């Protein structure tokens, strides 16, 4: 297959059962355990003793029992009483994600991290490097497996939407294409609930309209869809027809601000889990800010629920900062005031009023505290830059109370 240098070529790469895969590899290769969580009924979730929390990831064996990502642990244990449940280790997952992204950057000219375990690659114009994109995708998939120890699915198309839909086809460890000429054959027969951004509530509304497949939606009059679902209906109608106008993000404008978002692997319905993801966002964001020797004066958070409704809040800081802990503290507080309890699909943390100056206007106790955090952050950055992301992990957040609040 020859790639035209004029046609867009987009890869979507998604880690298969990311949290469980990363946990299993870590336990075998770094802790020396014999049991492979990937081959038994197992899941990443809350505390098995108290039966609190939700399922964050599950093995193929657990899936056969009907265990679902995002469901309460108490329900999963009813389906599979012998389910092995392991508590989440978010610092580990952030490190694995960082290693994953760094490997992708070796091979792709533009990498957009879409979530902790997903990325889009813009491979447009790379035909002289990789004359056969499908063969290259297989090589990249195998390289990730051999070097990092986990499997991925890769979807290939002309835009982000179709590439993402392709990567959701048969799993694990697969490469799939979904080019525009393949939509009618590969996309339209799928159930309407499989379409990106169609949650259970929207799917129910569409089924009540007689729309059962993605093809049904694609071939329904747009005005009818708009009348029932408004702007969200127009978006998903476009998606059903393979239309996506969003380009790969190529980074932030210098000295303006920084942002990072995560599309969650499931609908998050509890505050603690959401704050785990907010922490991982802030960790990545703050490292970029420090890397540019910048400081930010405004922090904002955006929440997109599973019905595509967005809520945002922001705060101006009394002093500009580059400190992970402070950015996280403000982002978590904004989340508490903004979230209305609806299931969350996407979380974003944005910063603005970036400057190269750090004006301190806080009391001497806060100044001393944040100076210590700043030195700690700088030390962590230096070690990771020299020895890699796996060389060190954050053991605490703001204080013991905050750390406890982040446990399931």
Query: Which residues are annotated as catalytic?
Result: 118
| 323, 392 Cβ separation under 8 angstroms | no
- How far apart CA 393 and CA 382 sit, in angstroms, is 13
- How far apart CA 20 and CA 55 sit, in angstroms, is 11
| 165, 175 Cβ separation under 8 angstroms | no
- How far apart CA 104 and CA 109 sit, in angstroms, is 9
Q: Tokens at residue 165, please?
A: 């839909």
Point out which residues pair with 304 in neighbouring strands: 310, 346
Alpha-carbon torsion angle 300, 238, 176, 144, nearest 10: -10
Q: Tokens at residue 169, please?
A: 């086809």
Q: Tokens at residue 104, please?
A: 């992708």
3-state secondary structure the chain: CCCCCCCCCEEEEEECCHHHHHHHHHHHHCCCCCCCHHHCCEEECCCCCCCCCECCEECHHHHHCCCCCCCEHHHHHHHCCCCEEECCCHHHHHHHHHHHHHHHHHHCCEEEEEECCEEEEECCCCCCCCCCHHHHHHHHHHHHHHHHCCCEEEEEECCHHHHHHHHCCCCCCCEEECCHHHHHHHHCCCEHHHCCCCCHHHHHHHHHCCCCEHHHHHCCCHHHHHHHHHHHHHHHHHHHCCCCCCCCCCCCCCCCEEEEEEEEEEEECCHHHHHHHHHHHHHHHHHHHHHCCCEEEEEEEEEEECCCCEEEEEEEEEEEECCHHHHHHHHHHHHHHHCCCCCEEEEEEEEECCECCCCCCCCHHHHHHHHHHHHHHHHHHHHHHHHCHHHCCCCCCCCHHHHHHCCC
């Amino acid at each position: 297959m020859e790639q035209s240098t004029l046609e867009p070529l987009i890869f979507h790469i998604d880690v298969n059962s990311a949290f469980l895969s990363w946990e299993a590899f870590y336990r075998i290769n770094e802790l020396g355990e014999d049991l492979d969580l990937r081959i038994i009924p197992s899941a990443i979730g809350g505390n098995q003793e108290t039966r609190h929390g939700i399922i964050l990831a599950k093995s193929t064996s657990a899936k056969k029992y009907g265990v679902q990502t995002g469901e309460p642990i108490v329900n999963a244990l009813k389906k599979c009483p012998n389910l092995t449940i392991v508590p989440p280790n978010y610092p580990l997952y952030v490190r694995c994600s960082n290693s994953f992204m760094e490997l992708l950057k070796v091979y792709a000219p533009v990498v957009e991290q879409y979530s902790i375990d997903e990325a889009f690659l813009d491979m447009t114009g790379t035909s002289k490097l990789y004359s056969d994109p499908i063969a290259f995708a297989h090589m990249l998939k195998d390289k990730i497996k051999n070097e990092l120890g986990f499997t991925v699915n890769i979807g290939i198309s002309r835009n982000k939407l179709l590439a993402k839909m392709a990567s959701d086809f048969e799993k694990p460890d697969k490469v799939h294409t979904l080019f525009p000429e393949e939509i009618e054959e590969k996309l339209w027969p799928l159930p309407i609930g499989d379409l990106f951004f169609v949650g259970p509530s929207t799917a129910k509304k569409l089924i009540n309209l007689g729309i059962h497949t993605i093809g049904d939606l694609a071939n329904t009059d747009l005005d009818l869809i708009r009348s029932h679902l408004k702007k969200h209906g127009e978006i998903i109608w476009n998606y059903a027809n393979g239309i996506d106008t969003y380009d790969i993000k190529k980074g932030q404008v210098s000295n303006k601000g920084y942002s990072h978002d995560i599309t969650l692997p499931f609908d998050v319905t509890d505050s603690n889990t959401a704050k785990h993801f907010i922490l991982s966002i802030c960790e990545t964001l703050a490292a970029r800010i420090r890397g540019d020797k910048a400081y930010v004066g405004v922090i904002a958070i955006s929440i997109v629920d599973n019905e595509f409704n967005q809520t945002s809040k922001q705060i101006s800081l009394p002093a500009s900062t580059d400190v992970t802990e402070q950015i996280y503290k403000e982002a978590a507080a904004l989340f508490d005031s903004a979230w209305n309890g609806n299931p969350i699909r996407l979380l974003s943390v944005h910063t603005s009023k970036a400057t190269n100056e750090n004006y301190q206007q806080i009391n001497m106790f806060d100044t001393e505290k944040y100076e210590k955090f700043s030195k700690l952050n700088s030390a962590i950055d230096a070690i990771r830059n020299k020895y890699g992301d796996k060389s060190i992990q954050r053991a605490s957040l703001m204080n013991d109370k905050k750390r406890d609040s982040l446990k399931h």
